[in-house]
A = this chain, B = another copy of it.
């Protein structure tokens, strides 16, 4: 019989059985978006690297003088010898330009009382104003970004500011996706009205790609146990992760389990008390992780989303592999079976979440995915009431047709 573990238990059995890779490679930062750092990155220089003006204006040494003689103009990027500045003198200075020694304050041009080519008249201003001090943001030698962080555009900004162009990142796992069911046609093949298409390989490959992982589509598992054992034997040595879909429940044609076991599989579990997605087996054969997912397109997609992606992230050395969630108010009451956990599709919008089709869609209904933008993982509830606050995992909420995102 299938195991009856909870979805949470299934998640932690995946996560806890995975050790991050120790394989890394050097990569140029310009190609590193979405990679996971395999080293702490340390600041090569102070930031700012020299004290500089935050405004276009006039720099001076703060004193009681309010009329200051303009002795020099300094542009961003100008290099110059040190010079003396008197209390009744100032320099015209542009944003980002290096502030000369002895100057401690900058007044923006638009705040001056009078401006001529020879002198300016200034109002009262706080000493130290409008100067960005050397090292006030970052000190040379401090850790800028930690091992395990995902490289984002924001981190690329930081690296660029430090002249860091090459970093060590973890090598991502090699993933093979197999399908079962000799009856399936590939989407690019002709299919008659009795035949259905292979959805799972393509949807899971797309999901992996969106999450920064590549996968090889190996094709269809052979239709005998003997051939399947051999087929898997060959892949085991070549891939870090094998994902299959279908053939894992107790139907007669389902010999996937046996083929993996004959290849030394130690399963973390076979069967989760979840709807949809119950017939799921996850385990390891030597160093190859196996995700034997259900054949139903929704079930396999949801388990790939909730279980496979976090596992792949941890395997890839990512420090962050738990889904973040947003809180949302449940919009429409719906019922579930309290004896199971549930992965439920719906739409998140402006702080509210609405279950898809009152949770009455079937696990074969692919359109439930493209009509949703988020997921609720639920257990121990018979009725989810209108107005209840839910934890929602978004998967496609970036943009909408219209929204008033301004706080005014």
Contact B378 A391 (CB under 8 A): no
Contact A370 B145 (CB under 8 A): yes
> Which of B153, B206, B318, B350 interacts with A206 by CB under 8 Å?
B153
Chain A 333-351, CB within 8 Å of chain B: the 1/0 string? 0000000010000000111
Does more than half of chain A's interface fall in helix, strand or loop, or is it mixed?
loop
Q: Does A101 contact B (CB under 8 A)?
A: no
Residues facing B in A318-371 (CB within 8 A) are 318-327, 341, 349-351, 362-367, 369-370
> Which of B56, B154, B164, B370 interacts with A158 by CB under 8 Å?
B370
A403 with B370, Cβ < 8 A, contacts A49-B193, A157-B206, A295-B95 known: no
Q: Tell me the bound Cα distance from A301 to B298 in angstroms.
A: 38
Q: Tell me the bound Cα distance from A341 to B407 in angstroms.
A: 9
A48 with B145, Cβ < 8 A, contacts A153-B210, A157-B206, A165-B188 known: no
Q: Does A30 contact B (CB under 8 A)?
A: yes
- When C-beta atoms are compared, the residue in chain B nearest to A313 turns out to be B399
- A residues near B (Cβ < 8 Å) are 7-8, 29-30, 33, 45, 47-50, 52, 54, 56, 73, 75-79, 94-96, 98, 109, 132, 137-138, 144-145, 150, 152-165, 181-185, 187-189, 191, 193-199, 202-207, 209-210, 249-253, 295-297, 301, 310, 313, 318-327, 341, 349-351, 362-367, 369-370, 372, 376-381, 390-391, 393, 395-408
Given contacts A161-B199, A324-B349, A378-B408, 17 further A-B contacts (CB under 8 A): A30-B205, A47-B367, A49-B195, A54-B364, A75-B183, A76-B181, A77-B183, A77-B184, A132-B364, A153-B204, A153-B210, A154-B396, A162-B187, A322-B401, A323-B405, A379-B408, A391-B405
